[in-house]
Amino acid sequence: MTTLEPELRALDLRGSGPILTVDVEEWYHNCWVPEYIDPSRRPPLIEELDWLLPELVDWLEEAGRTATFFVLGEVARRVPARIRGLVRAGHEVACHGDHHYRVGDLSLGDFRADIERAKACLEDLLGAPVRGYRSPEWSLRRVGNPRLLEVARAGFDYDSSLAPFLGAGRLGNPSHPYAIRWREGTELWELPPFPLSRRFGLPAGGWTGRVASDRRFEKALTRQLEEFGTAVWVVHPWELLDRELPGDLTGMARLIHDLGRRGFRQVFRRRLQAHAWRSIGQVAGGRSREAREPNPERLNGAWGSEGGR
Residues 6+ apart with CB under 8 A from 215: none
Whole-number minimum distance, CB 143 to Zn ion, in Å? 20
25/92 with CB nearer Zn ion: 25
Whole-number minimum distance, CB 137 to Zn ion, in Å? 6
Contact 247, 27 (CB under 8 A): yes
d(CA 22, CA 16): 18
Contact 73, 121 (CB under 8 A): yes
Whole-number minimum distance, CB 239 to Zn ion, in Å? 12
136/209 with CB nearer Zn ion: 136
| Residue from 115, 191, 182, 125 nearest 155 by CA | 115
The CA–CA distances, whole Å, from 148 to 123, 132, 175 equal 20, 12, 17
Q: What is the DSSP letter of 282?
A: I
235/302 with CB nearer Zn ion: 235
Q: Where are the beta strands (DSSP E) in the chain?
A: 7-10, 17-24, 68-71, 92-95, 132-133, 158-159, 164-165, 168-169, 178-181, 187-190, 195-197, 202-203, 230-235
47/218 with CB nearer Zn ion: 47
d(CA 70, CA 205): 14
d(CA 89, CA 104): 34
23/187 with CB nearer Zn ion: 23
Whole-number minimum distance, CB 157 to Zn ion, in Å? 20
136/229 with CB nearer Zn ion: 136
Whole-number minimum distance, CB 237 to Zn ion, in Å? 11
133/228 with CB nearer Zn ion: 133
Residues forming the site for Zn ion (CB under 5 A): 23, 25, 136
Identify residue 1 by its one-letter amino acid code: M
Whole-number minimum distance, CB 154 to Zn ion, in Å? 18
d(CA 74, CA 91): 20
Whole-number minimum distance, CB 29 to Zn ion, in Å? 6
DSSP reduced 3-state for 64:
coil
